[in-house]
A and B are shown apart, each in its own frame.
Chain A
Amino acid sequence: MDLLTPGTGLILWQAIVFILLFILLSKLAWKPILNSLKERETSIQNALDTADKARAEMSQLKADNEKLLKEAREERDKILKEAREASNRMKEEARLEAKKSADKIIDDARQAIQLEKQAALKDVKIQVALFSLQIAEKLMKKNLADDKAQKELVESYLKDLKIN
């Protein structure tokens, strides 16, 4: 059957043509095509990798920024708190100081008043004693101006004496 018997000539031509085709296509077609494909694939891969890296860097930066912001906020809060505390403390101290000096002034004043009062009272007592003596003198002078009066007085004294 001719259909099933390979012809020598065709085998020969097929071998020659195929080998030539293989050499030509390998050198002139497959090599540049496959190289370009590979090049393009690596460049795409590189681009994707770079994009990924940039994205990672971005998120890193963002995280850093947030961290910084948070720290700054905390710092601010701390400073504010400290300032508030300091001002409160100063106010309290001032108040205490003021109270202390006021108390002292009042105390001093009270003491001064007391002294003045005592001095005044002493003065008044002396005056009153003096007035009493003058009044007594004047009365005595008036009452003992006649004999009768003197007599009566002596008698009264005597009367007292008698009792004792």
Chain B
Amino acid sequence: MSVFLLKLTRFLALIFFAVLGSFTISSAAETADSTKAFNASEVILHHVMDDHVWHFWDGHYGTLYLPIIVYSQEKGLEIFSSRNFYDEHHSLVEYNGYKLEHNHIYLADSGKAVLDISITKNVAMLFINAALLLLVFLTVAGRYQKNSGKAPSGIQSFFEPIIVFVRDEIVKPNIGHHYEKYLPYLLTLFFFILFGNLLGLLPGAGNMTGNIAVTLTLAVFTFIITNVSGNKSYWGHIFWTPGVPLPLRIVILPVEIIGLFTKPFSLTIRLFVAITAGHIVILSLICLTFIFGSIYVGLASTLMVLFINLIELLVAGIQAYVFTLFTSLYIGMATAEHEHH
């Protein structure tokens, strides 16, 4: 009986790996092939960072070569496949006067960096995320039109509580009576982050919401919206804080101005760190198996990975909630009607 159980768990562990960590295993094997020792930190960083190819598994069809779009003053705008940077042995080669080094594209002769607006793995993830969001919410909106005046049904009744939650628990209490103006942005933000986080947890997926460029852009949007909608009293509080002695006002001014920028900065870092850290933890636990080369460690790490994955599902929701909550809070602070004492 116990022998059977042991075999069963080994089998399950293998299956689990095949599904959950397929891309990790393959790239680990790849690393083991090309270099002698298994380098965990390289594998992990490779998976949490952006890339010009989308690697699913080893072999001829395992890699999706994404399009490269580059612009330089010398050569203008050029579009070509990233396949051109690899030879048949999967080693990097120069192509058409460009070279790819550590995921950056340079001009081969001068070594100057070019403006790289390629469809990278994360940009592809971005497109998938956007397409999924459009598909889901246009369907939901269609249901609302079809079921107008009737009880919600299907996908509509799944998303309605979430939309109502965002509206009534996040946006309304923090922004106040003129919340409706900001609701579309905050809903887009919430579902963009939530879907991105969840998609990022899929095996083989890119770490899109855990990329600092993505979180930075979102935070900058929040920053712009907050400061554009800031009213007189908001700016008054920043530049000439009322109810504070004059010498203190001079001290407070730079603090307030720094505060203006720490808000989007904290938004950027929080989401980036939370999602990337989760991915790193999962990948580290998977890598443990290959470092020790033992099926028992594999069993233990499988259980841990399962556990962390469940936590990551939670984190995906929490981070979407937190980003939206803080954005609403900042907008609410900027638009609040202060009663002066």
- Give 1 or 0 for each of A1-37: 1 = CB within 8 Å of chain B CB: 0111111111111110110111011101111111011
Contacts of B296 in A (CB 8 A): none
B136 closest partner in A (C-beta): A29
B30 interface residue per 8 A CB criterion? no
Contacts of A29 in B (CB 8 A): 134, 137-138, 140-141
Shortest distance between the CB of B137 and any CB in chain A (Å): 4
B117 interface residue per 8 A CB criterion? yes
Q: Is the CB of A32 within 8 A of B127?
A: no
Q: How far, in whole Å, are A5 and B1 apart by their CA atoms in the complex?
A: 54
Q: How far, in whole Å, are A29 and B141 apart by their CA atoms in the complex?
A: 5
Shortest distance between the CB of B274 and any CB in chain A (Å): 14
- Give 1 or 0 for each of B207-224: 1 = CB within 8 Å of chain A CB: 000011110111001000
Contacts of B45 in A (CB 8 A): 2-3
B180 closest partner in A (C-beta): A34
Q: How far, in whole Å, are A18 and B138 apart by their CA atoms in the complex?
A: 16
- A14, A24, A37, A39: the one contacting B160 at CB < 8 Å is A37
Question: Assuming A3-B48, A32-B145, is B133 touching A21 (CB within 8 A)?
Answer: yes
Q: Is the CB of B117 within 8 A of A21?
A: no
Shortest distance between the CB of B225 and any CB in chain A (Å): 11
Q: How far, in whole Å, are A13 and B116 apart by their CA atoms in the complex?
A: 11
Interface size class of B (residues with CB under 8 A): 35 or more
Contacts of A7 in B (CB 8 A): 50, 116, 120, 211, 213
Q: Is the CB of A3 within 8 A of B212?
A: yes
Q: Is the CB of B134 within 8 A of A37?
A: no
Question: Assuming A4-B212, A10-B50, is B192 touching A28 (CB within 8 A)?
Answer: no
Contacts of B160 in A (CB 8 A): 37
Q: Is the CB of B123 within 8 A of A2?
A: no
New contact pairs (19) apart from A10-B122, A14-B214, A25-B188, CB-CB < 8 Å: A2-B49, A2-B103, A6-B211, A7-B50, A10-B50, A11-B213, A11-B216, A14-B213, A14-B217, A14-B218, A25-B137, A29-B137, A29-B138, A30-B183, A32-B145, A36-B145, A37-B160, A37-B164, A43-B149
- Give 1 or 0 for each of B164-192: 1 = CB within 8 Å of chain A CB: 10010000000000001001110110001
Interface size class of A (residues with CB under 8 A): 20 to 34
Q: Is the CB of A6 within 8 A of B133?
A: no
- A12, A32, A40: the one contacting B141 at CB < 8 Å is A32
- Return the 8 tightest CB-CB contacts between A and B, nearest first: A6-B213, A29-B137, A10-B213, A26-B184, A36-B144, A9-B117, A14-B217, A29-B141
Q: Is the CB of A25 within 8 A of B184?
A: yes
Q: Is the CB of A34 within 8 A of B183?
A: yes
Q: How far, in whole Å, are A32 and B142 apart by their CA atoms in the complex?
A: 8
Q: Among A4, A29, A39, which residue has the most Cβ atoms of chain B within 10 A?
A: A29
Question: Assuming A8-B115, A9-B123, A14-B126, is B214 touching A21 (CB within 8 A)?
Answer: no
Contacts of A21 in B (CB 8 A): 130, 133-134, 188, 192
- Give 1 or 0 for each of A46-83: 1 = CB within 8 Å of chain B CB: 00000000000000000000000000000000000000
Q: Among A8, A17, A37, which residue has the most Cβ atoms of chain B within 10 A?
A: A17
B257 interface residue per 8 A CB criterion? no
Contacts of B217 in A (CB 8 A): 11, 14-15, 18
Shortest distance between the CB of B61 and any CB in chain A (Å): 26
Contacts of B185 in A (CB 8 A): 22, 26
7 intermolecular pairs with C-beta atoms under 8 Å apart: A9-B117, A14-B214, A18-B221, A22-B188, A30-B187, A30-B188, A33-B144
Contacts of A9 in B (CB 8 A): 69, 115-118, 120, 123
B207 closest partner in A (C-beta): A3
Q: Among B126, B141, B218, which residue has the most Cβ atoms of chain A within 10 A?
A: B141
Shortest distance between the CB of B122 and any CB in chain A (Å): 6
Contacts of A17 in B (CB 8 A): 126-127, 130
